[in-house]
Chain A
Amino acid sequence: MASAVTPLDQPSNYKDSQARVDRQKQHGLLQKSTTLYIGNLSFYTTEEQIHDMFSKCANPEDGGGVKRIIMGLDRHTRTPCGFCFVEFYTHAEALASMRYISGTKLDERIIRCDLDLGYREGRQFGRGKSGGQVRDEHRQDYDPGRGGWGAQAQRLEIERRRQVEERYADAEQGAPIAAGGEEWKQLNAVPAEPTLKRGRSPEDEDESSRQRVRVDEDTGRM
């Protein structure tokens, strides 16, 4: 049926301009991507609002769910600047979000979803000169949900955004970001002594080394 209409879950012309992977490789990665770039968010939209919306596309009984959300922040002020990444456990969930959520409203703004190559360190931060997103540098209109006027005028509204600002004040460039919990693994009997670190089982070793190899293959040229 896909031949009669264009499915909404195709990659658009959005891309990570700093990705160092060739186009074919990008295409291949997007074919199994579990990550979405979400754009046109209000600066005030919280991760919990995003979680609520996107969990409607989750397939928990298929081993899926919202794995993690990475809020896009202004490089300088450490405040949300209108984008985020939502990572699921499965590709199907990302596609469902493209079909059903992209182009609908969240927090009364029409949000945009795009399949993404996957989060990499540093992408959390805005790339505009002023620290926010590039698009806000060029924006001419007054947009109350995105800090009023473009980049410069934002500074004037700082007091209004105090609460939002404090939330991510502790975000560090280069600090590790939580993964959101991996697939189920066989645990050893949990040690009764609280001071004992969990010993690693040989199965864990196998699994993680296998995974690492696969990840390296995937991202080797990124």
Chain B
Amino acid sequence: MSYERHGSGHGGGGRRRRRDDYDHYDHHRRETQESPDHKLKAAIIKLGEVDAEQELPQLAAKLLSQEQSSIPAIAEGFRLAYALVYLRPTAEEENGSASIAKPPLGRLILNDFWKGFQAYLDKLAWRETRLCIHFFAHLTVTNLISPQSMLGLLQSFTAVLDDFGVSNGRAKRAARCAMEGLMRAGRVLKEHSATAVQAYNDSLRATKWLVHPLAYMHSPDIPVEHAEHADEILDCAVSALKTLDLSDFLDVSGIFPNQLEALSTETSDDAPIKKEEWPEYMLRLFDNDVTADPKTPAGYAVRAGLIDIIEIFEVNRKECARLLVEYPKWSVKGTFKPRPGSTAEASDHIPLPGRDWQLESTLIETILGAQFLLPESAAKPIYYTTLITELCKLSPQTVGPAVGKSIRKLYAYCANGLDAEVLRRFAEWFSVHMSNFGFQWVWKEWVPDLALPVHHPKRVFVHRALELEIRLSYYDRILKTLPQPFQEPSAGAMPDQAPGPTYEYDDPTAPHYDAAQSVLNQLRSRTKPDDALVHLDTLKNNLAETADIGEDPDTLIRSIAIQSLLHIGARSFSHFLNAVERYLVVLRALSGTLEAKVHVLELVANFWQRSRQMVGIVFDKLMQYQIVEPADVVGWVFAHSAEGLDWDLLRGAVDKANGRVVVARRRVATLRKEDDDAHARAKANSNGDVSDAAAMDVDAETMHDPQVTQAEDSPQLVTALKAYAALTREQKSTLARVLEGFVHTLHSSSDAARRVIAPGAWDGHTSWRDEEWVAWQNWMWYKHFCRAYSPYLRSFVTTLTVVSFASLETASDDGAVLMKRIWGMATGQE
């Protein structure tokens, strides 16, 4: 919308009619842009981009001349300015803030800053709180804040760790606040130690195993050889702080360029499902002399800083990439190697011992570490993918090689216990990345791995990556990018033809060809649904009279009708939607029973056997149109898990069941509020007394009787509550179905599942065959299911334990013990 154009003579003629709206709009915009407060904020923020030493005295004078009414703006300006954490040579800025922070103005600014800090605390905006603490810590070092009050502040954060029943998410964040404050101000707060944090950290052993990206199944510990491949954030912070403590915090000024740091104003969403309750493991891809070692103080500062930038600037990946590439400018000289080719940088480069890291490798490793965080990344995985794309565009010569090395390392990890979910995200990143860079990858070097078993994780990755590349491009294009050995259909890397439908009745010699043709023609000519149903009925009766159809006429007619419907919908996604919507009545009639629904799914999977993407799309929409239920899809997935569990389909079904509850809960909340408002108005009208209505009860376990609420709920609210209750029941049964599926797959039916978790089994993994690898991956999917859906599982823990684990209750074999242990960890009982 070209708001700006107006005002320069474009407003005449036919547009006059709408002038009022335009004027109102433009006026509003100009006002917000040019208010004195806004200018002040902009000036403070801009400080990072200019030569601070020159500009500071002017700005300080300007700030000092302001009336008191501007103080909130100044404080907010500083808060925002520090959000550009790494944009400034901040030593000057600190001097600057010191120079303007003279009484009385300085006190007022600090007071306002403090108010902001409290607001962040109240909002539980942890990142903002933590960044505020960085700022306070720097001010403590410059004596603007007394060490005593800073110490008190930090102690109030470590006290959180001793709270009874504190959640891991809360404890983790409080610990980071205290430790990162200490790292910066430790020099003056020496007597305070991090023992509280360490004790808490030591208590997390079990949950750490659950989210480690490379862990074995047979041992509750993270194996020593994996320890160096991933670092957990609290581990790192504790270790970095210990190092600083030993050196009496003398190194601090060599780590933090006295920067005053970031704040943001975003609020978190109100989702009632909390998902941040886990330790955070960052996968390592490079050695400590190549990329920042987060266990050292300087390395921790770099890592934590980069993660903050990546999270804060998520709103603009292009700006984020630019800031990341410029990061060395704002860190202590010698932390990173000079840019290759920059002679000016190289000539005055003095590497710092233990640092001198490679920027691009550090960036890619940090971004991928965040992307592969378990159970889920902070932002959508696609964000990190396109952030890397932007980095590559900014500096292809330096970022490209770092990406290539990372891919090779991750590929090597595949054979070394890499978590199945990380492998899945790796393939997704790989395919989208390649799609942005001409699908150029050196497949040649992986040719020898084609000899591995089909279900070996390396082959699973290759197959998956190519499948995803085809989806983003097309079969012939991808085939051309591959060396001959990969092109052979027998290699199992590429299918023998492009993805497409398989219509059983295509061949004129196929049984029931004529019957199928008649149905197909009817659907093609857009016969009315009711007429189509009549035709199907007649056809069924005719077929039933034929003696040798060899199957149940209902099954046969379903097969013909569903396949024909899919056939007319096979041209495109929207053709499919049109076909479904036009013949919804027919679909419902054909899928009335449980067996019928299972059969429909079966027919879809067969029809689209050469396109896993279409199976996913059709299953999803069949659930959306309520032809099948999520639990039906779950049942189908487990019934077809012999060749490996299809996690995408399983996740699609579970997400659908959970998503419906979210939508229903939102509707109840909205209607409840409308209702309450109406009641309050009515009451106010009758006796002038306004009272609060009862709070909505959304506890899942107690949802069985939703009517025990207010007596006079509106009919809409009653309906919404009924829907909510029904969907919550459906959600519970879907989750139970998944758990039963896993119990059956891993415990009751598979020998291999027992073998791969036996002590020492992993040592023989080089001779594992497909059977063992499938079982291994199924275990990982069970583990991932438990941790990814842990918040949902927790709300039904009693029921699910009784219903789904009944057969394991008394079992004490290794499989049962491991299943119960993972369940216990994920639901917080262990």
A: which residues have CB within 8 A of B? 1-9, 11-13, 15, 22-24, 26-27, 46-49, 51-53, 56-57, 59-65, 68-71, 96, 99-101, 103-108, 167-168, 177-181, 183-187, 190-198, 203, 206-207, 210
Contacts and interface: CB of A to CB of B under 8 A. Distances in A.
Nearest to A61: B655
Contact of A206 (B18, B536, B716): B716
Contact of A48 (B1, B614, B625, B663): B614
Given A63-B660, A65-B620, A48 B723 contact: no
Contacts of A63: 659-660, 662-663, 666
B96 interface: no
Contacts of A99: 314-317, 383
A41 to B, nearest CB: 13
B436 A105 contact: yes
Contacts of B755: none
Contacts of B428: 56
A172 B381 CA distance: 39
Contacts of B620: 65
| Interface class of chain B by DSSP | helix
A108 B438 contact: yes
Interface string B471-508: 11110000000000000000000000000000000000
Nearest to A107: B473
Contacts of A194: 533, 536-537, 589-590, 592
Contacts of B590: 194
Interface stretch (B174-182, B220-228, B580-588): B580-588
B581 A178 contact: yes
Nearest to B581: A178
Interface in B574-609: 574-575, 577-578, 580-581, 585, 588-592
A60 B589 CA distance: 27
A191 B664 CA distance: 25
A123 B594 CA distance: 41
Contacts of A52: 468, 471-472, 613
A149 to B, nearest CB: 23
Contacts of B271: 62
Contacts of A101: 382, 386
Given A185-B626, A190-B592, A207-B719, A5 B315 contact: yes
B17 to A, nearest CB: 9
25 contacts: A1-B80, A1-B265, A1-B266, A3-B41, A3-B80, A8-B315, A9-B315, A24-B24, A49-B472, A51-B617, A56-B380, A56-B382, A60-B655, A65-B659, A71-B572, A101-B386, A106-B472, A177-B574, A178-B574, A179-B577, A180-B624, A181-B625, A191-B592, A198-B588, A207-B719
Interface string B218-262: 000000000000000000000000000000000000000000001
A23 B18 CA distance: 8
A100 B380 contact: yes
* Residue from B589, B613, B715 having most chain A Cβ neighbours under 10 A: B589
Given A5-B315, A190-B588, A60 B656 contact: yes
Contacts of B90: none
B549 interface: no
B377 to A, nearest CB: 12
Contacts of A51: 573, 613, 617
Q: 3 smallest A-B Cβ distances: which pairs?
A: A181-B624, A178-B577, A1-B264
A100 B614 contact: no
Nearest to A56: B382
Contacts of B613: 48, 51-52
Given A68-B574, A184-B626, A184-B727, A4 B530 contact: no
Given A101-B386, A184-B660, A4 B578 contact: no
Nearest to A70: B574
Contact of B316 (A7, A26, A184): A7
B137 to A, nearest CB: 21
Contacts of B1: 11-13, 15, 23, 26-27
Nearest to A80: B572
Contacts of B719: 186, 203, 206-207
A195 B533 contact: yes
Nearest to A180: B577
A196 B575 CA distance: 26
B315 A179 contact: no
Interface in B368-386: 380-383, 385-386
A194 B312 CA distance: 56
* Residue from A9, A52, A183, A203 having most chain B Cβ neighbours under 10 A: A52
* Residue from A96, A177, A178 having most chain B Cβ neighbours under 10 A: A178
Contacts of A177: 574, 578
A60 B653 CA distance: 9
Contact of B572 (A27, A47, A203): A47
Given A3-B45, A52-B471, A194-B592, 5 more contacts: A3-B265, A48-B471, A100-B383, A179-B581, A195-B589
Contacts of B382: 56-57, 96, 100-101
Interface string B425-443: 0001000100110100000
A187 B626 contact: yes
Nearest to A194: B589
Interface in B510-546: 530, 533-534, 536-537
A6 to B, nearest CB: 6
A91 B580 CA distance: 25
A105 B592 CA distance: 43
B472 A47 contact: no
* Residue from A4, A51, A181, A192 having most chain B Cβ neighbours under 10 A: A4
* Residue from B574, B581, B625, B727 having most chain A Cβ neighbours under 10 A: B574
Nearest to A175: B578
B621 A181 contact: yes
B394 to A, nearest CB: 13
Contact of B312 (A1, A9, A53): A1
B84 interface: yes
B658 interface: yes
* Residue from A23, A46, A64 having most chain B Cβ neighbours under 10 A: A23
Contact of A69 (B317, B319, B573, B654): B573
Contact of B381 (A56, A64, A104, A193): A56
Contacts of A106: 435, 472
Nearest to B579: A178
A72 B473 CA distance: 19
B435 A47 contact: no
B389 interface: yes
A64 B1 CA distance: 28
A127 B128 CA distance: 48
B574 A192 contact: no
Contacts of A15: 1
B572 A48 contact: yes
Contacts of B716: 206, 210
B535 to A, nearest CB: 11
Contacts of A2: 265-266, 315
